[in-house]
Amino acid sequence: MDRKEKADILLKVAKAYMDRGHWLQYDQLSLDRIVRCTARRNAFAPPEAAAEGRYLFLDCAAFVWDCYYQAFDCRLEADMVINMIDHMSARVFYYELTHEESDAEKEQILKDFRACLQPGDIICYEWMSRAAHTMLYLGDGMFIHCMQAGSFNGYHYGEMRNIFNPEGGLRIASVDRMTRNKDDGMYLFASKFKRFSVNRPLDVVGDPTRQAIIRATDAADLYCSAYPSVGCGHAVSPGGTVSYEVEAVNRGKEAKRIDVAFEAGEGTQLLGAAFLSADILPGESYRPVFTVKAERQKGLLGKPLVTVNGLEIYVPDVAVSSRVEGAALESPGAFSPEACQRILKRLFFLHDTAAGDVLSRRPPDKEANGSVYGLFGGFGVITPQIAAGGENRAVHIDRNCLEPGDIILCADDALMTKCYSAAWDGASLAGSFECGEAPSVKSGEDADRWIDTLFGRFCFAVIRPSYLNGAVDIS
């Protein structure tokens, strides 16, 4: 397959990300100290991971990296912009500024830069401050990038609140911003810039994956998603059922045949048909539902394989948990800081490195400690699996994720010397909402606002007493 064909398929993947609209958000924190990625960044996530009610968080480098990964099943040599400039394959243009260039020299360098660009190229630049940015060149003088637009950055860690961009985190812009508009913040010879480069991975990657080819052919112009009936923070009981609604929207200009196949995952039994189809007109949607019975006693259900016209569609994990009637933690609404510390130390372990202190999550064990799958995070929490499984940590949480009796535990430092907790009764939160604060109650918007602050805290986790296997006091 030639470079032009590869570029066409790569750019269709990029378009599929952009089509997710505001469910794909930019999220940027100072770089995490061990795995060097943003706090809520989802690596390896396909476009369909962003869907109604599910946010996908990327930064500029993660977006470019994921486009290549989804299109060619390749892992670019670097997923940080500064490292991309120096270490990525097929660098075809590089310039380090002296800031003594004449106008004629600048004009020639920028002319060579523009002439070099081909669809699929990766453009990177670095500021004097060591901050950097990367973009994917589309052709015809345009590029696409994941960026902070104005004050929108997914999460404002200083103010501890979500700030979602209603248009999403991806933008298409003109290369003129970098080469002709001297007043633009992206102009490459501005005093803040240090160097810039163009890399051409299409010269060295293999052929597109079968899935990428299907996305560009049989599944072209389809917007697809899958939604389990068991939402984030909740679980199905052993023997219970989970329904998966599959959405397929025809965004093309002609009628399209939609074939949806469903293969039940390990530990589940499909109830009903495994294949449904329909013909839909432009702008119409098709939403078949498939139901499975949970045959596992605990852990995660095996993910079903869902395809729409052959394209595999991302499906969120569903947890299985038995509940113990009447199980409750001792004084759930008023944990002492010492009890919070003991519980959190059972859930997390400390990385003490020269680069800084961060926490990693121990493997989930609901029956032993009542922890809720996926409902943990904070800017100081890294998981060993973060690069390969974004669902191992929360990226968004609201009251719909909680159940009556749930307890949110927080710590403000890596050593967990500043701990506090609050319990949810289905209508309000009761407990301490800051370290050293006297117990109080929050409900309505006040409760929502505090839940929104969790990602601005160093560490948080949710435990659910009804998951405990007869052990009432885990403190």
Q: What percent of the chain has pLDDT over 70?
A: 91
Over residues 104-124, mean pLDDT? 97
pLDDT of residue 330: 52
Sign of the alpha-carbon dihedral angle for 444, 449, 455, 457: negative
Segment 326-353 mean pLDDT = 74
Task: Please report which confidence band the pLDDT of residue 221 belongs to, taking 50, 70 and 90 as the band edges.
Answer: very high
Distance CA 443, CA 209 (A): 49
- Measured CA to CA, the distance from residue 238 to residue 320 in angstroms comes to 6
User: Please, which residues bridge with residue 272 across strands?
Assistant: none
CB 27 within 8 A of CB 98: no
Give the pLDDT band (50/70/90) at residue 85. very high
List the domains of the chain with CATH numbers. 3-210 (3.90.1720.10), 218-320 (2.60.40.10), 337-467 (no CATH)
Q: How far apart are CA 146 and CA 75, in angstroms?
A: 19
SS3 category, 435:
coil
Query: What is the chain's percent helix, strand, coil content, to nearest 5?
Result: 25, 30, 45
pLDDT at 334 over 70: no
**10 Å Cβ neighbour count for 13?**
24
What tokens does 170 get?
Answer: 């991806």
Q: Which residues contact 309 (CB under 8 A, 6 or more apart)?
A: 214, 218, 219, 222, 257, 258, 259
Confidence of residue 387 (pLDDT cuts 50, 70, 90): very low
Q: Give dist(CA 432, CA 419) in Å, integer.
A: 9
- Counting other chains too, the contacts that 383-388 makes at CB distance below 8 Å and 24 or more residues apart are 384/360, 386/35, 386/37, 386/41, 386/43, 387/35, 387/37, 387/43, 387/44, 388/43, 388/44
Q: Catalogue the long-range contacts made by 79-84 (C-beta closer than 8 Å, 24 or more residues apart).
A: 79/37, 79/43, 80/31, 80/36, 80/132, 81/124, 81/126, 81/132, 81/133, 81/134, 82/126, 82/130, 82/132, 84/122, 84/124, 84/134, 84/197, 84/199
Answer whether residue 329 shows pLDDT above 60: no
- Cα separation, 283 vs 357, in Å, equals 50
Could you give the CA distance from residue 42 to residue 58 in angstroms, rounded to a whole number? 6
pLDDT class of 136 with cuts at 50, 70, 90 = very high
Q: What is the pLDDT of residues 297-322, one digit of tens each?
A: 888 899 999 999 999 999 999 999 87
- Show the tokens assigned to 59: 């930064």
Q: What is the largest CA-CA distance in the chain?
A: 79
pLDDT at residue 392 in the model? 63
| Residue 130 scores a pLDDT above 90 | no
Q: Mean of the pLDDT values across residues 278-295? A: 97
Query: What pLDDT is attached to residue 36?
Result: 55
Cα dihedral 462, 466, 468, 471 sign: positive
Tell me, what's the pLDDT at 1?
86
Q: What is the three-class DSSP state of 70?
A: helix
Mean pLDDT of the chain: 89
Helices 3-18 and 60-72 meet at what angle, rounded to 10?
A: 130
Per-residue pLDDT band for 417 (boundaries 50, 70, 90) equals: very high
Q: What is the mean pLDDT of residues 286-295?
A: 97
Q: Collapsing DSSP states into helix, strand and coil, what is residue 76?
A: coil
